[in-house]
Amino acid sequence: MELSNDTVSILYLIATVLFIFGLKGLSSNRTALLGNKCAMAGMAIAVITTLLHPEIKNYKWIWAGMITGGIIGSVVALKINMTAMPQLVAAFHSFVGLSAVLIAWGMDIIHGGELNKALAIEVIAGCFIGGITFTGSVIAFCKLQGLMDSSPVKFKGQHFMNLLLFLISVAFGVKFVFSGAIYSLTAVSLLSFLLGVTLIIPIGGGDMPVVVSMLNSYSGWAAAATGFTLQNNLLITTGALVGASGAILSYIMCKAMNRSFIHVILGGYGMVEGGENARAIAAKKGAKVVDVEDAAFMLENAKKVLIIPGYGMAVAQAQYAIKELYDVLTSRGTEVKFAIHPVAGRMPGHMNVLLAEADIPYESVVELDQINSEFASADVAFVIGANDVVNPSAKTDTSSPLYGMPILDAYRARQVFICKRSLNPGYAGVDNPLFYAPNASLVL
């Protein structure tokens, strides 16, 4: 069965609309499942339509790629833990970037180096964006997976070097467009790979949510550039959707962290490690430490509890235990809500995904803007593995790197319990005065 070009265009349009509905659906917990199904349906239509495209003559390599990729994707999807979702996303972005580079080289080889100027521009753009996306995503994956230190890697002249690499890449790109010289395409490929590394290594764990969304945007623009190269309208539109939504998400994340996008790209903050006994350090610094039984007693007698999850909850995979706590408290008539900061965890929406996985009701999960006014009326604010997103210095200390960042106002609750393994600061690398507040206690 072979489709006509008009039918292909109509089906591609339907797939694009489904992708748009998918993105819209993912903007809310309540509609995320439906949005995901719309996107899956759109992708199924896109793949089947492409297989039946009149220009497809040989299926041997197509089937080989689909079967191999399908097996790998299925194994990864079944084995991956939700806590590892950020690094999985980064890994997938790297594949999109590498694909763009390989397609760029493939087009040049197919045309024997004789590309018209328009196609040469598309090829060099896809190669450059794809190269940065590939190595940048690999570095992000290594930092998130713990294969590299998540602290920023900085050196003198770093910004100047990045600018120089970019300008040299542009020069070689212009050379390629006008001469088709293979060494120019090679130079752009290598320089973009290097630039991807140098752009991401100075970004610390504190800014990782922005990095993930930024790389998502890069992968979209790489796909769009590839769509122009292959003259595939669906790839252009979907790539543009991903690129634009990733850019908007990056802006939202930066706004939530009170950071400029340029600041995040040029550098970040790292972690500070500690080694002494956690309880001894807490006592030395004047923090109050309570036993689990004490915290349980307060929770048992509370009428309203606001739970603030963070990346520590993800690492401990404690979302299921939190669901048990939620069930116990609500069965006793306690009002329980989950306060979600947009940058909690290591990717946008990380906490929402984990709580949904544990079957926490959507109506109990509330975003920062809606929940902050309720802390003053809460009997207990229960902070689980969160740090920077509840740090009051963001409001009071103008010298703090967190200053100006919107936080969850946990300190306003009648009693605050902070469940952590130690007094180590968060990814921003600054101490949290909430740990020493009169109404706060650590549950180590």
Question: Which residue numbers are catalytic?
Answer: 388
- Could you tell me if residue 385 is left (phi over 0), alpha (psi between -120 and 50 degrees) or otherwise beta? left
Three-state SS for 394?
Answer: helix
Task: Report the C-alpha gap between 441 and 359 in whole angstroms.
Answer: 28
Joined together, the tokens standing for residue 271 give 């972690």
Classify residue 342 as exposed, middle or buried by CB count within 10 Å of its CB (0-12, 13-18, 19+). buried
What's the Cα-to-Cα distance from 125 to each of 70, 129, 223, 318, rounded to whole Å? 29, 6, 11, 44
165 neighbors 194 (Cβ within 8 angstroms)? yes
Q: Which long-range contacts (CB under 8 A, 24 or more apart) does 6-13 make?
A: 8/49, 8/52, 8/53, 8/54, 9/233, 11/45, 11/46, 11/49, 12/46, 12/49, 12/233, 12/234, 12/237
Residue in 106, 124, 97 with CA at minimum distance from that of residue 181: 124
> Rounded to whole angstroms, how far apart are CA atoms 101 and 222?
9
- Read off the DSSP letter of residue 399: T
**All residues at 6 or more sequence positions from 363 whose CB lies less than 8 Å from its CB, including other chains:** none
* Residue 389: closest CA among 354, 338, 432, 423: 432
User: In which residue are the tokens 């995901």 written?
Assistant: 36
First-to-last CA distance in the chain? 64
Relative to beta strand 365-367, strand 380-384 is unpaired
